[in-house]
């Protein structure tokens, strides 16, 4: 679970199914922080993007892995167009401030990509709406134009590791993985999430505190050695770890 999500919440996915976090990346672009979380539930695999502004305001949107790949490619096009623009000139701007626009469609969602300019600068606004619902609210994020390349590169790293298949591994393979657990210690929460990718099965151990998160990933082939090393520390004379079993 990422630091931008409450540590007291049970991870839930769309439709109420249990949600497993496979990977997370953090980007700091100007005054904004972006979290890219790869998640998986019974419906498949997707990326949850969260934008946190300087004032702490959060906005989120979801991308299926296949649409994330299309978005990654569009980021290259938008970056090249941005690089070709001259200095900002308020007198030559379109009335709506749009410099370039594209649209992506996935199932019943439509994604709008708009490179815009206003008094604060140039940025890429990404918004999504339900095609079956007219006039409803849109989820959206705004990426500073200077950060589009960095954003694209982070998406590329994710897609290289997890692929562009929305369904991820088969249900049969996923059912063999242990359930996620967590351990609360004073003001910290440790999450233990087992996942798999092209390199094999792994354990991600995340330490979460208010406004702070760090994680390590342990390949399955190393679990035994980690267990033995932890047991050696826990069983040493005078250790206070003996009998402590507050995990869930």
pLDDT in tens, 3-48: 455 433 334 434 445 778 888 999 999 999 999 999 988 888 999 9
Residue in 153, 155, 149, 126 with CA at minimum distance from that of residue 77: 149
Are 220 and 201 within 8 A, CB to CB? yes
Looking at per-residue pLDDT, the higher value among 19 and 175 belongs to 19
Question: Over 70: is that where the pLDDT of 155 sits?
Answer: yes
- What is the predicted pLDDT for the residue at 65? 94
List strands edge to edge, sheet with 109-118: 98-106, 109-118, 121-130, 139-144
Record the pTM.
0.63
* Rounded-to-integer distance, Cα 39 and Cα 21, Å: 4
Looking at per-residue pLDDT, the higher value among 243 and 215 belongs to 215
Residue in 205, 170, 186 with CA at minimum distance from that of residue 246: 186
- What is the predicted pLDDT for the residue at 128? 92
* Domain annotation for the chain: domains and CATH numbers: 20-162 (3.30.2450.30), 181-235 (3.10.450.700)
Q: Average pLDDT of 67-89? A: 93
Q: Which of 102-116, 122-136, 182-196 has the lowest mean pLDDT?
A: 122-136
């Amino acid at each position: 679970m990422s630091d931008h999500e409450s540590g007291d919440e049970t991870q839930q996915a769309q439709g109420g199914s249990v949600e497993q976090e496979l990977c997370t990346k953090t980007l700091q672009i100007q005054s904004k922080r972006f979290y890219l979380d790869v998640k998986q539930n019974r419906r498949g695999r997707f990326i949850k993007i969260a934008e946190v502004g300087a004032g702490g305001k959060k906005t989120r949107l979801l991308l299926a892995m296949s649409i994330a790949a299309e978005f990654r490619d569009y980021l290259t096009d938008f970056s090249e167009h941005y690089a070709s623009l001259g200095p900002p000139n308020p007198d030559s701007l379109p009335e709506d401030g749009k410099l370039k626009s594209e649209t992506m469609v996935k199932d019943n969602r439509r994604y709008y990509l708009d490179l815009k300019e206003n008094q604060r600068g140039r940025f890429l606004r990404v918004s999504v709406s339900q095609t079956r619902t007219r006039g409803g609210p849109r989820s959206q994020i705004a990426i500073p134009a200077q950060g589009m390349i960095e954003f694209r590169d982070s998406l590329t790293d994710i897609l290289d590791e997890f692929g562009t298949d929305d369904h991820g591994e088969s249900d049969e393979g996923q059912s063999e993985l242990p359930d996620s657990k967590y351990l609360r210690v004073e003001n910290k929460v440790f999450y233990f999430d087992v996942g798999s990718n092209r390199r094999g099965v792994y354990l991600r151990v995340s330490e979460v505190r208010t406004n702070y998160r760090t994680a390590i990933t342990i390949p399955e082939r190393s679990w035994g050695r980690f267990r033995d090393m932890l047991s050696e520390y826990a069983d040493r004379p005078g250790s206070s770890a003996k009998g402590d079993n507050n995990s869930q």
